[in-house]
Chain A
Amino acid sequence: MALQPAFLLHRRPYRETSALVDLLTFEHGLVRGVARGVARPGSRSRGALQPFTPLHVAWRGERELKTLTLIESTRAGVMLAGEGLLCALYANELLYRCLPREFAVEALFAHYGALLEVLPTPGLRAPGLRRLEITLLEALDAEPLFLSIDGDRPLEPQLRYGYDASARRFRPIADGHQGVDGRTLRLLAHGDWEAPGLAGAAKWLLREALAPLLGARPLRSRALLQSLVERRRAMPAD
Chain B
Amino acid sequence: MSFSPLFERLVEAFRILPGVGPKSAQRMALHLLERDRAGGERIVAALGEALARIGYCQRCRNLTEHDLCALCEDPRRDERMLCVVESPADLLAIEEAGGYRGRYFVLHGHLSPLDGIGPEELGLERLEAEVAGHDYEEVVLATNPTVEGEASAHYISEQLRPYEVRCTRLAYGVPLGGELEYVDGGTLSRAFSGRLPFTS
Contact = CB atoms under 8 A, between A and B. Distances in A.
A79 B184 CA distance: 14
A89 interface: yes
A93 B113 contact: yes
B155 A224 contact: yes
Interface residues of B, number: 27
Interface stretch (B29-37, B115-123, B132-140): B115-123
A3 interface: no
A231 B114 contact: no
Interface stretch (A45-53, A102-110, A138-146, A190-198): A45-53
Contact of B18 (A9, A16, A82): A16
Interface in B141-162: 146-147, 150-151, 154-155, 158-159, 161-162
Given A76-B185, A231-B161, 19 more contacts: A9-B114, A10-B114, A12-B115, A16-B18, A47-B184, A50-B186, A52-B147, A76-B186, A76-B189, A79-B193, A80-B150, A83-B154, A86-B155, A92-B113, A93-B113, A220-B118, A224-B155, A227-B119, A228-B155
15 contacts: A47-B186, A47-B187, A48-B184, A50-B147, A88-B147, A89-B147, A93-B114, A96-B114, A220-B113, A220-B116, A220-B117, A223-B118, A224-B151, A228-B158, A231-B158
Interface of B: 18-19, 111, 113-119, 146-147, 150-151, 154-155, 158-159, 161-162, 184-187, 189-190, 193
